């Protein structure tokens, strides 16, 4: 959940549907100036984005940040890989989990905290089709229960 002073720019709503989320991490995001301006305007997408470990560093791949119009010729590549800033111990832990147990790193949301761009990363395992169907059934049942309870709470008209 967002804490006070945080402003969510973009969220990956499909992540909870497609993955079992095990652990979450907060990582800083190394950006160019035009990327920060574009992010502040809310022009980003996490669709198809994921993080991978290369050479002892964690990189965010396929995150789209739209070009900033006022940047002119100094604009950025919208899909360039962006370095994530994590503590060395966290990186070592993530490397071990991703290599051994078939986990993947999925970005859940990008937000600003105290003026700095952050990414919430989740260590996730892909869901099977039957898991997704079970989640949908459970959600529908909860909605029906809520509707039934809401109907009972209405006062009788005299």
| CATH number where 10 lies | 2.40.280.10
- Examine residue 147 and state whether it is found in any structural domain, yes or no: no
Residue 1 has pLDDT above 70, yes or no: no
Q: Which domain holds residue 22?
A: 6-127
- CA torsion 84→88→89→90, rounded to 10°? 0
User: Taking Cα atoms as reference points, which of 92, 7, 74 lies closest to residue 42?
Assistant: 7
Residue 155's pLDDT band, with cuts at 50, 70 and 90, is low
Residue 5's pLDDT band, with cuts at 50, 70 and 90, is confident
- Examine residue 136 and state whether it is found in any structural domain, yes or no: no
Residue written as token pair 């992540």: 15
- Examine residue 143 and state whether it is found in any structural domain, yes or no: no
Say if CB 103 and CB 123 are below 8 A apart: yes
- Examine residue 113 and state whether it is found in any structural domain, yes or no: yes
- Examine residue 153 and state whether it is found in any structural domain, yes or no: no
pLDDT, residue 9, reads: 84
d(CA 151, CA 138): 20
- Examine residue 63 and state whether it is found in any structural domain, yes or no: yes
Mean pLDDT of the chain: 84
What percent of the chain stands above pLDDT 70?
94
Of 91-100, 127-136, 138-147, 148-157, the poorest mean pLDDT is in: 148-157
The total domain count for the chain is 1
Q: Which residues contact 150 (CB under 8 A, 6 or more apart)?
A: none
- Examine residue 81 and state whether it is found in any structural domain, yes or no: yes
Is 136 in a helix, a strand, or coil? helix
Q: Identify which has the larger pLDDT, 99 or 112.
A: 112
pLDDT in tens, 22-55: 888 899 998 888 888 888 888 888 888 888 888 8
pLDDT, residue 3, reads: 65
pLDDT in tens, 50-86: 888 888 888 989 988 888 877 778 787 778 898 999 9
Phi-psi region of 48 (alpha: psi -120 to 50; beta: other; left: phi over 0): left
Q: Return the bridge partners of 58, or none.
A: 53, 84
Task: Tell if the pTM clears 0.85, that is, is over it.
Answer: no
- Examine residue 148 and state whether it is found in any structural domain, yes or no: no
Say if CB 78 and CB 41 are below 8 A apart: no
């Amino acid at each position: 959940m967002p804490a006070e002073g945080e402003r969510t720019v973009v969220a990956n709503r499909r992540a909870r549907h497609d993955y079992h989320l095990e652990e979450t991490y907060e990582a800083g995001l190394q950006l160019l100036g035009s990327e920060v301006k574009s992010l502040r305007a809310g022009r980003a997408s996490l669709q198809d984005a994921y993080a991978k470990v290369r050479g002892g560093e964690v990189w965010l791949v396929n995150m789209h940040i739209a070009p900033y119009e006022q940047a002119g010729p100094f604009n950025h590549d919208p899909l360039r890989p962006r370095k994530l800033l994590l503590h060395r111990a966290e990186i070592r832990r993530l490397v071990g989990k991703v290599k051994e147990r078939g986990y993947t790193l999925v970005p859940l949301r990008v937000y600003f905290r105290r003026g700095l761009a952050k990414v919430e990363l989740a260590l996730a395992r892909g869901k099977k089709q039957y898991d997704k169907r079970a989640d949908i059934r459970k959600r529908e049942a909860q909605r029906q229960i809520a509707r039934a309870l809401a109907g009972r709470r209405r006062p009788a008209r005299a």
